[in-house]
């Protein structure tokens, strides 16, 4: 009996390890946003060679200023989807993002997954973050990006009925995995198409909403912008991309 129990335990442990590895590989190499793009803005339907660089999970005391420096050096504007708690913690960094002309969006207040959330809690997280961004930066925003991208169709409808634009992405740099900057640039340049939205992060780790190492992201920015220009692309904000898409649809 003991031997049989031991074999069952080992088998179960092996299955759990396999499932954990499979989940890790899935998270690293598959972009789950592909599954939930319906009824969201993830690219503009245009032929002009323009893209939008976006950064999630900030502001960060360490990484956002470095990213802003690189964006300034490259001469482009980006869009920062901010977490309310981080705006509250680093108001000066959030203000700098606005003062330097970048676009700002909402990325929830606490970065908790919204999937199957109570509607009241979801609405409060969004409106509280919007109010805080307005108070700190003087800028209002109706751009919203859900944590981890996941929302049900019902949740999307409720958010859109409140007047928000749900923004996802087309290309995921997976910089939270700390891929080499050259790999990220190579991957994006190989796959980029007109009107697409590119995802980076200016904070957050694998298990935490703050921290993480964004060194490779910082190093990649200038090189990516230069490569995009070589291929005839310009970098716009999400708001500008949205406007171009709307004009094209008329």
Choose among 219, 187, 217: nearest CA to 205: 217
Q: To which H or E segment does residue 185 belong?
A: helix 181-191
8 Å CB contact between 46 and 248: yes
Closest CA to 162 of 124, 112, 136, 114: 124
CA nearest neighbour of 201 among 55, 54, 39, 4: 55
Closest CA to 193 of 233, 166, 245: 233
The domain limits of the chain are 1-30, 33-249
Q: What distance separates the 2 farthest-apart alpha carbons in the chain?
A: 73
- Whether residue 56 lies in the annotated active site: yes
pLDDT value at residue 218: 97
Query: CA 7, CA 5: separation in Å to the nearest integer?
Result: 5
Q: What are phi and psi of 51, to 5 degrees?
A: -140, 165
181 counts as catalytic: no
13 Cβ contact list (under 8 Å, min separation 6): none
In order along its 250 residues, the chain shows pLDDT tens digits of 444 556 666 555 555 544 434 344 444 455 778 888 999 999 999 999 999 999 999 999 999 999 999 999 999 999 999 999 999 999 999 999 999 999 999 999 998 877 767 888 889 999 999 999 999 999 999 999 998 888 998 999 999 999 999 999 999 998 888 779 999 999 999 999 999 999 999 998 766 778 789 999 999 999 999 999 999 999 999 999 999 999 887 6
Residue pair 87/129 in contact by the 8 Å Cβ criterion? yes
Q: Answer whether CATH 3.30.930.10 is correct for domain 33-249.
A: no
Predicted local confidence at residue 119, as pLDDT: 83
Which among 86, 181, 201, 202 is annotated as catalytic? 201
What's the CA gap between 102 and 69, in Å, rounded? 12
Catalytic choice (56, 57, 175, 181): 56
Residue 106: other Cβ atoms inside 10 A: 26
Cα 196 to Cα 153: distance, rounded to the nearest angstrom: 23
């Amino acid at each position: 009996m003991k031997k049989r129990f031991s074999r069952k335990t080992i088998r179960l442990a092996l299955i759990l390890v396999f499932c954990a590895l499979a989940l890790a590989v899935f998270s690293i190499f598959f972009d789950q946003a592909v599954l939930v793009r319906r009824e969201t803005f993830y690219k503009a339907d245009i032929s002009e060679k323009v893209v939008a660089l976006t950064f999630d999970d900030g502001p960060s005391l360490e990484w956002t200023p470095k990213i802003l420096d690189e964006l300034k050096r490259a001469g482009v504007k980006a869009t920062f989807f901010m977490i309310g708690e981080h705006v509250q913690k680093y108001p000066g960094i959030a203000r700098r993002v606005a003062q330097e002309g970048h676009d700002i969006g909402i990325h929830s207040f606490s970065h908790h997954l919204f999937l199957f959330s109570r509607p009241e809690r979801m609405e409060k997280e969004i409106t509280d973050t919007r109010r805080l961004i307005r108070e700190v930066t003087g800028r209002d925003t109706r751009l919203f990006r859900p944590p981890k991208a996941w929302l049900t169709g019902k949740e999307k409808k409720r958010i859109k009925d409140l007047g928000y634009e749900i923004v996802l992405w087309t290309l995921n740099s997976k910089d939270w995995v700390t891929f080499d900057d050259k790999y990220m640039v190579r991957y994006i340049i190989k796959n980029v198409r007109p009107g697409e939205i590119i995802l980076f992060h200016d904070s957050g780790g694998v298990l935490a909403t703050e921290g993480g190492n964004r060194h490779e992201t910082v190093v990649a920015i200038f090189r990516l912008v230069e490569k995009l220009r070589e291929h005839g692309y310009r970098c716009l904000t999400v708001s500008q991309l949205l406007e171009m898409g709307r004009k094209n649809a008329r």
